[in-house]
Chains A and B, each alone.
Chain A
Amino acid sequence: MEEVKVKKEIDLSDPAEIENRIKELCQQFPHGITDQVIQNDLPHLEPQQRAMAINKLLSLGQLDLLRNSSGLLYRLKDSQSTSKMKGSDNQEKLVYQIIEDAGNKGIWSRDIRFKSNLPLTEINKILKNLESKKLIKAVKSVAASKKKVYMLYNLQPDRSVTGGAWYSDQDFESEFVEVLNQQCFKFLQSKAEAARDSKQSPMVQRNSSFATSHEVWKYICELGISKVDLSMDDIETILNTLIYDGKAEMTVIAAKEGTVGSVDGQMKLYRGVNPIIQPTGLVKTPCGLCPVFDDCHEGGEISPSTCIYMTEWLEF
C-alpha cells in the first residue's frame, strides 16, 4: 500500500522526485532494471525527462550503466564505494573505476593512462591520492620487478602477480623449489624401492610403485618443510619438474568420483624411474665438456697436444 501511495504522489514536474523513484526501483531489483521497467512504472513520464533524470544520476555516480544481452541495464551503485569516493572529482572516480575493473590482477599505470586518456602526471597524482586514502594499493609484480600494478585495497593479489607459493618478495625461491624437488623424488624413490623389495608379481610391483599426487602432497605437508601452505597444484608442478629431470613418469587413471586426490574423475600417478643409459662416452672425455672445443685445432693456439684439460684429466 505504501508503494502505491508513493507512486501516486509522484510529481512528474519535479526532477528530484523522478530520480528518487528510479533509485527506489533499482533497490527493488538489485540486478538492475531496463528502460522498459521505468517506462512501465512511470507511464506518463516524457522520454526526455526520463533521460535527463538518468543522466543526472549517472553523472552523480549513483547509477551504473551496464550492457547485457537484452539491452542497457541501470543498476544502483554500491553505496559503500560512493561513500568512499565522496569528495573526489570525476577523474579520480574514473581512475578508481578502471582499477576496480582490473580486479585482483591489478593494472599498470600506463594502461590506466591508455584507458582514461588522462595525462600521466595527472594519473600519478590521483594514484597517490587514492593510495593515501587507502582505497587502492600498489603491488610489485613478479613478472617485471620494476612494474607496479594497482588494485583495490581489500583485494588479495592474483597468483600471476605474486607468483604463488614460489615467490617471497618478488624473488623466486629456487632453493625451496630444489628442496621440494628432491624430497618428492626421495618419496617416489623409496616407494619404488619398497615395491621392488616386495617380491610380488611384476604387475603388482609396478602398480605399487606409483604414488598419487595426493599422497605426495600429504607427505610433503607432514614433513613440514614448507612455511606456506602448498596446494595439490603446487605439488604437481614440482612433480612435473621431476618428469623434466627424467627422474619420474606420470600416468593418468580414471578414479571414482569422490576418491581422495581425484580431480574431475582423474587421478595423476607418479613414479620414480631409472635413466636408460649411463652418461654417454663422449662426456667422459675432456673434449665432451670442453668450453673451447670449437677453437681447438692441431697446430693452433689451442690444440689437443697442448691441451691443459687433457693433461689434468690424464694426471687425475
Chain B
Amino acid sequence: MTAQEVRLCGLLLREHFGEVVEKVGTHLLRNGTQNLRTIIHETGIPVDLVKKSLCVLVQHGACVFSSGRKGPGSPTEYQTGCDRILRILRYPRYIYTSKTLYGDTGELIIEELLQRGHMTMSSTVKTVADRLTQNMEEGHSMDYSEVSSTFSKLVETHFLQRCPPLAQKTDVMTTATPATPGAPADPVSTTLSTPESFPDCYKVPHVTLIGRGKRQLSGDDGEDQKNAKKARLDSDTHGDEGIYWQVNFERFHLHFRDQAIISAVANKLDQTTSEIVRTMLRMSEVMTAPTATCTKPLSANEIFRSLPTSYNISRPILDQYLTLLVDDPMEFVGKAGESGGGVYVVNLHRALANLARATLESVVQERFGSRSARIFRLLLRKRHLEQKQVEDFAMIPAKEAKDMLYTLLSQNLVQLQEIPKTPDYAPSRTFYLYTVSQLPTARMLLQNCYKTVANLIERRLFETKDSKRLLEKSQRIEAILASLQASGAEPEQLTEVEEMITAPEKQQLESLRVHINKLDSAENQVDETIFLLESYISSTATLTS
C-alpha cells in the first residue's frame, strides 16, 4: 500500500460513504490490522459511528475481520485492503459492461449489487423489477421471472458469485473461537468474506440457483409490482435467506482483459483476425484458469466449428489467418502442436506484457515526444546500450540524444548501469549502459495513475464546492417547478420561477456540467490504464511464483 493508493482510497470512500467511513477506512489502511477499541481510541470517533462504518466496509467486502491473533478470547480484529476499495473506481465500467452484455436488466442488477455490497437473489430481483417497472409506461410491468433469468445467466457466466457461505463462518466459530460470543455486536457478521473459496462458490450456484429461482417466483405471485424499495424488507420468505450474492470482479477483469486483447489484435492486424481471436477466447473462457499464462489448446477444427457462420471464413482461409497470427511478432497466438489441423493457444500473459509495453511507450511518446519514444523503444529492444550506440541506432544527433536520455533517466523511465573496467569506478574506464526495465517502470506508472485519479477527483470536488450555492439554488428551483407543475400552475408562473436563474448563472452551471463530465470521463480513461498495468503486474507475479 503506497501513499498514493491510500490517498485515492480515502477519496473514493469519502465520495461513496461519507467522511466518517473515510476516516475509519484510511486509518485501517495506514495502520494495518486493529481491533475496535484501538480504532476508537486512535481516531477519536464515537463507538457507534465506528461500528457503523465498519459495517459499511464489511458489507462491501472492503474489510474483513478475524478473531484476535493473541489466541482465543482476544478481541476481534479488523483489516482492510486497497484492492477492494480501488474497485469503486471501476464501477462505471462494470455497469456499462453488464449493460452491453445483458441489457438494462443486467445493468440494474449489477448496479444494485455494487451499491449495496451484497444482497440475496430475491431482494435483488424485486428491487430491479421495481425500478424497471417505474421507468416503463403506465400499465406495463416487469416480470420477476425475466429478471431472475438474467440473474441466473449472470451467475452461469460467473459474473456474479455467492458470498462465501454461512458454513465457513460457523467453521471459524467452532474451530477458532468457541469461547468468545462471536464478533462484538456485528449485525452483518454472517457475511464474513474470506477472500475466495472457489470450489463450492462456483459449483453450487449453478444447480441450486435455478431451483430457488423458481421457488421464489411462485412465492411472488400476486405481489404488487409497484412496491417501493421497502418491498425487500417484507417478511415473506423466498427460500434463499442467508445466501448472499456479490459481483465477481475477477470475472469482469478477465472479460476486460479479453476485450483489450481483441481490440489490440484488431488494431494490429484486422477485424476478421480479431473475430477469430474473440472466438478462441470465448471457447476457452470457462476452461481456462484465471491466472493461466495461455488458454487451453484449441485445434483449428474446433475453432472452425465455433466460428459464427456470419463471418464467412472458409477453412483454408482460417488456417491462413491462424498462421498469420502465429507469425506476428506480438505473438498473441501461439501454436501448441500439429494435431487436429494445428493446435493453437492465446498467449494471455504475453499479450498483457505487450499491451503494458505499448502503454509505457505511449506515455513516453506523448510526454517526451516521438524521438524520446524512439530511444525508449530502442532500449526496450536492445536491452543495454551505450550512449554512442543509442545515438547511432536512433539516428539522433548526439546533443539531443544526450538531452533526451538524461530527461528519461531523471524521470526514472530509463535506468543507468555502470560497469567499471577497474575497481575504482573512474569515469574514463567505465561503461555506462542505459537500459529500460519494464516491470518497475510499469509499477511506477501505476502509482502515477493513482495519483492522477486522486488529483482528478480532488479537482472535481473543488469545482463542485466552488459553485455549491449555485447548484443548491438550481436544485431548489427545479423542485419548485416540479411541485408547481404537479399542482397545475399557469405557464406564466412557471416561466417566472424559471427566470429566477439568470443567464450568466445558467452559463456557469452549463460550464460546470461540462467540466464535471470531462473530469469523470478522464477518471474512467485513466482507470483503463490502471487496469492494464495492474493485470500486467499481477500476471508477472504468477509467473515467478
Check if B361 sits within 8 Å of A244, measured CB to CB.
no
Per-residue interface assignment for chain B, residues 504 to 545, with 1 indicating a CB less than 8 Å from any chain A CB and 0 otherwise: 000000000011001100101111110010000000000000
Residue of A nearest to B531 (CB): A281
Check if B456 sits within 8 Å of A203, measured CB to CB.
no
Contact for B459 among A202, A273, A288, A310, CB less than 8 A: A310
Q: Please tell me which stretch of A33-41, A65-73, A233-241 contacts chain B, meaning at least 4 of its Cβ atoms lie within 8 angstroms of it.
A: A233-241
Contact for A277 among B321, B358, B378, B527, CB less than 8 A: B358
Beta-carbon contacts under 8 Å, A279-316 to B: 279-285, 287-289, 293, 296, 298, 303-305, 307, 310, 313-314
Interface size on B, as a range, is: 35 or more
Check if A245 sits within 8 Å of B324, measured CB to CB.
no
Contact for B397 among A172, A278, A283, CB less than 8 A: A172
Please report the total number of A residues contacting B with Cβ < 8 Å: 45
Check if A276 sits within 8 Å of B317, measured CB to CB.
no
Main secondary structure of the interface of B (DSSP, over half): helix
Q: Within 8 Å CB of B264, what residues of A?
A: 276-277
Beta-carbon contacts under 8 Å, B285-331 to A: 316-317, 320-321, 323-324, 327, 329-330
Q: Within 8 Å CB of B462, what residues of A?
A: 304-305
Q: Within 8 Å CB of A275, what residues of B?
A: 267-268, 358, 362
Q: Tell me, yes or no, whether A201 is within 8 Å of chain B by CB.
A: yes
Can you list 18 pairs linking A and B with CB atoms under 8 Å apart? A172-B398, A174-B396, A202-B321, A203-B323, A203-B324, A244-B377, A245-B373, A275-B268, A275-B358, A276-B354, A279-B366, A281-B522, A281-B529, A284-B526, A287-B452, A287-B455, A288-B452, A304-B454
Give 10 nearest A-B pairs by CB, closest first: A281-B525, A283-B366, A304-B455, A305-B462, A287-B452, A172-B397, A276-B264, A304-B458, A281-B529, A203-B320
Interchain CA distance A300-B162 in the complex, whole Å = 45
Chain A interface (Cβ within 8 Å of chain B)?
166, 172, 174, 177, 181, 196, 201-203, 206, 237-238, 240-241, 243-246, 249, 273-285, 287-289, 293, 296, 298, 303-305, 307, 310, 313-314
Q: Tell me, yes or no, whether B40 is within 8 Å of chain A by CB.
A: no
Residue of B nearest to A245 (CB): B374
Check if A201 sits within 8 Å of B317, measured CB to CB.
yes
Check if A201 sits within 8 Å of B452, measured CB to CB.
no
Check if A298 sits within 8 Å of B267, measured CB to CB.
no
Q: Within 8 Å CB of A293, what residues of B?
A: 448, 451
Contact for A244 among B321, B354, B393, CB less than 8 A: B393
Q: Tell me, yes or no, whether B400 is within 8 Å of chain A by CB.
A: yes
Q: How far is the CB of B11 from chain A (nearest CB, A)?
A: 10
Check if B367 sits within 8 Å of A298, measured CB to CB.
no
Compute the total of residue contacts between A and B using a CB distance below 8 Å: 144
Residue of B nearest to A240 (CB): B393
Check if A305 sits within 8 Å of B367, measured CB to CB.
no
Chain B interface (Cβ within 8 Å of chain A)?
263-264, 267-268, 270, 272-273, 316-317, 320-321, 323-324, 327, 329-330, 354-355, 358-359, 361-363, 365-367, 370, 373-375, 377-378, 381, 393-398, 400, 445, 448-449, 451-452, 454-456, 458-459, 462, 514-515, 518-519, 522, 524-529, 532
Check if B320 sits within 8 Å of A202, measured CB to CB.
yes
Check if A287 sits within 8 Å of B456, measured CB to CB.
yes
Check if A174 sits within 8 Å of B522, measured CB to CB.
no
Check if B268 sits within 8 Å of A273, measured CB to CB.
yes
Interchain CA distance A287-B456 in the complex, whole Å = 9
